[in-house]
Structure 1
Amino acid sequence: MEPAVLRILIGMVVGTLIGLTGLGGGVLLLPILIFGLGIPAIKAVGSDALFNFITKIPSSIVHLRKENVRRKVVIALAAGSVPGSMVGVRLLQHLRVIYGAGVNDFIKSAVGILLIVVSTLLLVQRRI
């Protein structure tokens, strides 16, 4: 299969799962980019962030129209998440300066640990 076709199919499957479950690309796409397609982790993080931005806009509009959104919760979360994500990107840039290409190993480990933690919490908690 052509690489471009494979990427389109991956995007379609991930986009469908995002629309269906609300899980972000960090859980679905990032591991595929890093472990499946062999993209360096730091490039995968940036690619995943842009993919999420583009993908979440249409699904967010649909959820707003269907009144599936708790706006006060979203505003409060965004108040912390927007600056937090900017801090995270800057921290990643700093780690890249310090560790060079070794930052990719850090990201892979962090992604693996977070996936295990989140999966475990989803399985054992009644309400997260």
Structure 2
Amino acid sequence: MRSVAGLLVGTVVGITGVGGGALMTPILVLMFGIAPQTAVGTDLLYASITKMFGVAVHHNHGTVDWGIVRRLAMGSLPAAAATLAWMHYGDAHQIKSGFIITAVAIALIITALGMLLKDWLHRVGRSLRVTDESYFKHLQPAATVAAGVLLGVLVTLTSIGAGALGTVMLVYLYPMRLNASKLVGTDLAHAIPLALIAGLGHLSLGNVDYGLLISLLLGSIPGVLIGSFISTRAPLTFIRYAIAIVLGAVAIKMFTV
């Protein structure tokens, strides 16, 4: 069953770039009864390995904007490292599971709202880009780094946000530069180092289940390859709305755990 869950989530990630942590962490907690801190840590390493295979496909098709990846990483990687340092030296990794569940639920709601508003944000970004091009382009680098900082903190704490919120931020910041395929490929490429650093940090805190990790990878690796190949043909808007609705329902369920 765990490998099947990995296959399904991996396929969604490959198609949309969305859904890794946002789907897998709640599945591990609600369906398999995994401790929240272990679910977060294991999911981060699972996501970093799974997305490597998806990025390889996107890179071969030229659908990764490495300049944007670098800008995001300039903010996200130091933020992830700082968050891990706080967790380690402040003993924050020993916080109660209830707090983690609440944090995950809040992250899911933010993610769902972001996915539902994605088209509107894209229109707003496109309008600003057209009406005041020089000012918008002047702010792009700093705004992208700031977006990376937010993602770095959120992903390290909850394993959620690298895909779903990342794509929402990118459609606003780069409404003309990224088409649908490049949006997915670029977001996946940035998520790898972020999830890897955060996952290794959780590994050092003892928040990773190796057996669970292997089971998930057995399903997710073929899933993400399948999803990446069909990403240009999939009805992305429909899938995004469906995922957003599911995430909202899961968030409500997690508030009652």
Calculate the TM-score normalised by the size of structure 1: 0.84
Identity %: 35
- Per-residue CA deviations over 1:32-79 (Å, capped at 9, x if unaligned) read 011111110110111001101110111011111111111111011112
Cα offset, 1:106, TM superposition: 1.2
1:66 counterpart = 2:61: yes
Calculate the TM-score normalised by the size of structure 2: 0.44
- Structure 1 distance, partners of 2:87, 2:47, is 18
- Structure 1 distance, partners of 2:102, 2:59, is 35
- Structure of higher CA gyration radius: 2
Residue ranges of structure 1 left out of the alignment (5+ in a row): 1-5
Residue ranges of structure 2 left out of the alignment (5+ in a row): 123-167, 169-257
1:119 counterpart = 2:116: no
The residue that corresponds to 1:20 in the other structure is 15
- Structure 1 distance, partners of 2:39, 2:66, is 30
Cα offset, 1:109, TM superposition: 0.5
Number of residue equivalences: 119
Are 1:41 and 1:108, in contact at CA under 8 Å, matched by a contact in 2?
Answer: yes
Q: Judge which range, 78-87 or 37-46, deviates more.
A: 78-87
How do residues 21-36 of structure 1 correspond to structure 2 at under 5 angstroms? 21-36=16-31
Q: 1:96 aligns with which of 85, 93, 96?
A: 93
- Structure 2 distance, partners of 1:89, 1:44, is 16
The residue that corresponds to 1:78 in the other structure is 73
Higher relative contact order (CA 8 A, sep 6+): 2
